[in-house]
Structure 1
Amino acid sequence: MERFETESLALIPGQNVRARILSHHPWGVIVEIAGYEEAGLSPSIDMIEQFSRTTSSHDELLALFPPIGSQIDAVIEQIHRSHPPVSVRLSIRPADLESLAWRCDFCGEPITLSPGGDVLVLDSRSNDGPGSHTIISHRHCLAEQIRPENTGERARALKIGKMC
């Protein structure tokens, strides 16, 4: 067994993907992400969490389930790599497809994960075992966590991924 699963590291929260519906379940649907069919992922869409507050009946909610075999646009909401298989939760809410919002894991304030948002996605790993954990952060929140005398790392946290 590999110490760290690496194929899923190309996927990050806020990323738009294409997915194919594999099966329906009482809570939602199981999908496969295009290009990652053999990656050992467990991607799903929790339809109850996403739409139960906006539908008036169970039948109305069920009508929102995409048909099995259909291809859909989705956005990665969360990734859990703590143990295999890598769990990927997708969203198909129209607002999330436009601009996915989440909360910063440091300050708790809203943060935009979609391209153009001022977000950093950190994957933390242990040096003595498999698995990783994803942390979502504002740039400035991460920079504030770095020791003040480490000005180079603080500066890099504020610039990483930004066009020069």
Structure 2
Amino acid sequence: MPGCAADEAVRDDQLMQRFDSVGCDLVMGTAVRATIISHERWGVMAQVIGHETVGASVDAGVIDSPSGSPQARPEEYPPVGGQVDAVVQEINRYHPPAWIRLTMRAANLREFSWTCGCCGQLTILSPGGDGVTVDVRSSEGPGCASFAAHRSCLAGRLNPDFDGDRARVKAVGRDQPPPPAIGIGNQSPR
């Protein structure tokens, strides 16, 4: 016996492959370790440790050049098989396959910045910075659009009546005191 349209939609959605959930624990500014798997004329192919099923690359322009060149020369690339420190520069989950772009520049390892999608100024995405990554997804199908934003810019664009959402935007990912244990402070002495 056929179900209602909503039941059919749920069944259809369950069959859909959501490639955009791959590597979802990575955001721009995340420090990672990666293994270099090949040299290309434009940079290197890599595998992010712990996320080996997601493709990754590092453009020569974001590999420091010991010779002082604006981009690393092929002979300056890290060796194939070697492990390197890197920072997630961008994650493309809009169309399959998901892809991670990394940066290996020493300056980016210390502090990674990206343009705020709200005001156009740089925001710091490294831990302790003033930026967050916003992922936009839909229940209608796979795909994810992402952008960086200053916490204050994003919170300022939310409806002023959404105090909880504004507070969460400002606090997400930051150290917060643990919630009080249930019943603490509400108990009468025995």
Q: TM-score range by the shorter chain?
A: 0.7 to 0.9
**Contact 2:87 2:108 survives alignment (8 Å):** yes
**Structure-1 residue corresponding to 2:32:** 17
Deviation of 1:108 after TM superposition, in Å, equals 1.0
Q: Which runs of 4+ in 1 moved over 3 A?
A: 48-52
**Structure-2 residue corresponding to 1:142:** 154
Deviation of 1:158 after TM superposition, in Å, equals 1.8
Percent identity, aligned pairs only? 40
Deviation of 1:21 after TM superposition, in Å, equals 0.8
Residues 141 and 31 (structure 1), Cα distance of their counterparts in 2 relative to 1, 3 Å cut: same
**Structure-1 residue corresponding to 2:55:** 42
Residues 158 and 49 (structure 1), Cα distance of their counterparts in 2 relative to 1, 3 Å cut: closer
The separation in 1 between residues aligned to 2:119 and 2:130, in whole angstroms, is 14
**Contact 1:20 1:32 survives alignment (8 Å):** yes
Deviation of 1:135 after TM superposition, in Å, equals 1.5
**Contact 1:123 1:133 survives alignment (8 Å):** yes
1:64 aligns with 2:76: yes
CA displacement, residues 117-147 of structure 1 (integer Å, 9 cap, x when unaligned): 0111111102211110112111111111111
1:55 aligns with 2:103: no
> Quick one: which amino acid aligns to residue 76 of structure 2?
L
* Structure ID, larger Rg: 2
Please list every run of 5 or more consecutive structure 1 residues that lacks an aligned counterpart in the other structure. Answer: none
> Quick one: which amino acid aligns to residue 46 of structure 2?
V
**Contact 1:48 1:61 survives alignment (8 Å):** no
Deviation of 1:162 after TM superposition, in Å, equals 2.3
**Structure-2 residue corresponding to 1:113:** 125
Q: Equivalent of 1:154, from 166, 171, 184?
A: 166
Structure possessing the higher relative contact order (Cα contacts under 8 Å, 6 or more residues apart): 1
The separation in 2 between residues aligned to 1:158 and 1:124, in whole angstroms, is 18
1:28 aligns with 2:43: yes
The separation in 2 between residues aligned to 1:159 and 1:120, in whole angstroms, is 10
Work out the number of aligned pairs and report it: 160
**Contact 2:117 2:149 survives alignment (8 Å):** yes
The separation in 2 between residues aligned to 1:6 and 1:14, in whole angstroms, is 18
> Quick one: which amino acid aligns to residue 163 of structure 2?
T
**Contact 1:13 1:77 survives alignment (8 Å):** yes
TM-score (normalised: structure 2): 0.77
Deviation of 1:49 after TM superposition, in Å, equals 5.5
1:132 aligns with 2:177: no
The separation in 2 between residues aligned to 1:35 and 1:107, in whole angstroms, is 34
The separation in 2 between residues aligned to 1:4 and 1:62, in whole angstroms, is 32
RMSD: 2.1
**Contact 1:18 1:33 survives alignment (8 Å):** yes
